[in-house]
Amino acid sequence: MSQLSTQSDLVAPFLEIKNAQIIYDNAIEAVRDVSLSVAEGTVVALLGSNGAGKSTLLKAVTGTLHLEDGDLEKGSIHFAGRDLARSKTDAIVRDGLVLVPEGRKLFANMTVEENLTMGAHLKSASELRRLKQTVFELFPKLKERRSQTAGYLSGGEQQMVAVGRALMAEPRLLVLDEPSLGLAPLIIDAIYETIALMRRELNMTVFLVEQNATQAMNLADYVYIMENGRIVLDGPAEKMRTNLDVQEYYLGFSSGGEERKSFRDIKHYKRRKRWLS
């Protein structure tokens, strides 16, 4: 994947967001003029801190913006030829765009197996059996715990159920919203290994939204960085990894080298200025 220079060089992008502006309650602008694209077979990461507008963008992509009085005022969002701004969530899921929501959002009172069944809600009974087998092969641990109540699993296991549940819908584009949120470092490593595995084994296209920049950047082919509702920087992952600004502000290395540097040491105005240039 290292030969990529920009996303747009590739064949028609799978997911394409053009100049999106999203406004809540007709008053609060959460996303301004954002354009990004995800090509088939790639892993694209969208990084940014709290309140950067990442989750809002994902709500627009999954057709759930209206639930919170949000509106795509300008621009367009297309997935595999479908206009997502005018689509219902079930049609979007049927097309193969599936989200693993932030904070996992399992059905806490249902068993692991019932959670997985829900993931395949739009599939027939025979497809359900086949998909369940595939997911159990990928995550043998879920098979062990199939009849346990999902709400009582550990955080890492819950994340595994959440990813498994999304796979049950046979995604063509898997969208992960902060998969590492609230998990211990070792478990985060395991989650990222799983994503890498799915990409290798199932040749899956992944759109990853994260605050945890290091892991996401190691996995991704292309990286977008969002701040205050805008894309402030984007480029192929290996270029971004060596970009001094990114190293300093997202990966925590000082420009000198290996020495760790706290985020707090960097003056706010300086960050803003650098991004704008």
Instruction: Return residues touching other proteins (CB under 8 A).
Output: 62, 64, 67, 89-90, 93-94, 98-99, 101, 105, 107-110, 114, 117-119, 121-122, 125, 149, 151-152, 155, 165, 169
State the minimum distance, in angstroms, from the CB of residue 171 to other proteins.
12
Please say which residue, 68 or 83, places its beta carbon nearer to other proteins. 68
Least distance between other proteins and beta carbon 198 (Å): 19
Q: By C-beta, is 113 or 221 nearer to other proteins?
A: 113
How far apart are CB 77 and other proteins at their closest, in Å?
Answer: 16
Written in H, E and C, the secondary structure of 147-211 is CCEHHHCCHHHHHHHHHHHHHCCCCCEEEEECCCCCCCHHHHHHHHHHHHHHHHHHCCEEEEEEC
Give yes or no for a contact between 225 and 233, defined as CB atoms under 8 angstroms apart: yes
Pairing of β 28-38 and β 15-24: antiparallel
Nearer to other proteins by Cβ, of 154 and 255: the residue is 154
Q: Measured between alpha carbons, how far is 134 from 182 in angstroms, rounded to an integer?
A: 27
Question: Which CB sits closer to other proteins, 105 or 273?
Answer: 105
| Calpha distance 163→155 (Å, rounded) | 12
Question: Based on CB atoms, which residue is closest to other proteins, 11 or 125?
Answer: 125
One-letter amino acid identity for 107? Answer: F
CA dist., res. 163 & res. 113, Å (int) = 13
Residue 152 C-beta: closest distance to other proteins, Å: 7
Beta carbon of residue 92, minimum distance to other proteins (angstroms, whole number): 8
Query: CA–CA separation, 80 vs 110, rounded Å?
Result: 33
Tokens of 221: 């082919």
